[in-house]
Amino acid sequence: MNSILGALLANVHPNQLEITSIAMKAFARAAPITSRNFAVEEQKQYLMSQLFEACKINNEEILTSVMQAMNDIARVNYDYMREFI
């Protein structure tokens, strides 16, 4: 896995809103470069599980970043998204 993407998603913590918000904003900007990760099942599952975990956080800023990331991921990696749609 791209170490930057992994580091960003490792910072999804429901009780640390500021860190999670920063991580999700950065991940949203990096989402278009996730193609290699989505080609590897284990990495795809990790990325999506962390994004879904971030979706559980009741914070508009975080949710906006997650939705932006998911939009870009779906656009770039549509062929890998069947099980999540």
- pLDDT tens-digit series, residues 19-61: 999 988 888 888 788 888 888 999 889 988 999 999 999 999 9
13-22 pLDDT tens trace = 889 999 999 9
Q: Give just the sign of the alpha carbon dihedral 55, 60, 61, 65.
A: positive
Supply the CATH number for residue 55's domain.
Answer: 1.25.10
Phi and psi at 81, nearest 5°, equal: -100, 0
Which residues constitute the domain of residue 9?
3-84
Q: What is the reported pLDDT for 60?
A: 94
Query: Residue 20: what are its φ and ψ, rounded to 5°?
Result: -65, -40
Percentage helix, strand, coil, to 5, in the chain?
80, 0, 20
pTM of the model: 0.83
The total of structural domains in the chain comes to 1
What's the pLDDT score for residue 61?
92
